[in-house]
Every structure is written in C-alpha cells, then in structure tokens.
Amino acid sequence: MRNPPLLKFLAAVQMHCETAATLMRASELEPLDLQLSVAIAEDLGFVENTGEIHPSLRITADGWAWVTQELAPFRGLIRDAARTGGVS
C-alpha cells in the first residue's frame, strides 16, 4: 500500500456517512490532524463536501477508484476470509 493513513481516513469518512459517528470520532484524529487529512483528501479529489451537517463529507468516484486500486492486492485474502467465515 502506498498510503495507509489516507486509506484509514477514507474508511473513517465512509463510517461517518453510514453511522451517526462524527468524522472526528470515526477517524480518531486530533482536530488539527483531521483538518490536514480533510485538506489533503480534498486536494486529491478523493472527498467532497456534502453541504450537510451530517454527513459532512463523502468519498468521490476518484476516491473510490483509488481505494479499489489500493486494496487490489488483498482481493484474494478478502475472498478467502469470506469463504471460510473470517469476514462477515
């Protein structure tokens, strides 16, 4: 993987979209680190503002494409874990 912290941040954005968790809680980042992560992800075009209070950000198509590329080496592992009951 080229950027595990960015992948973790995008996972937090998705959790924020799917649950009542705030982005700060989902990401487990301090406020300044969270601001920096948001700025980097926005600059890369991986997230965009929703204009809503919750969820405040969402992953863009470019962000999903990057996540898919980053996780590609793990496809076999994920498939095997799902087949053997290791992933629900």
Of 6, 62, 1, the closest CA to residue 33 belongs to 6
Secondary structure class of 58 (helix, strand, coil)? strand
Which architecture characterizes domain 4-83 according to CATH?
Orthogonal Bundle (1.10)
Q: Where are the domains of the chain?
A: 4-83
Say whether pLDDT at 88 is over 60.
no
Residue/partner pairs of 18-24 with CB below 8 Å, 24 or more apart:
20/54, 22/54, 23/55, 23/56, 23/57
Say whether pLDDT at 87 is over 70.
no
The predicted model scores a pTM of 0.85
Instruction: Decide: residue 76, CB within 10 A, 0-12 exposed, 13-18 middle, 19+ buried.
Output: exposed
Mean pLDDT across the stretch 50-67?
96
Give 31-58 pLDDT, tens digit per residue. 999 999 999 999 999 999 999 999 999 9
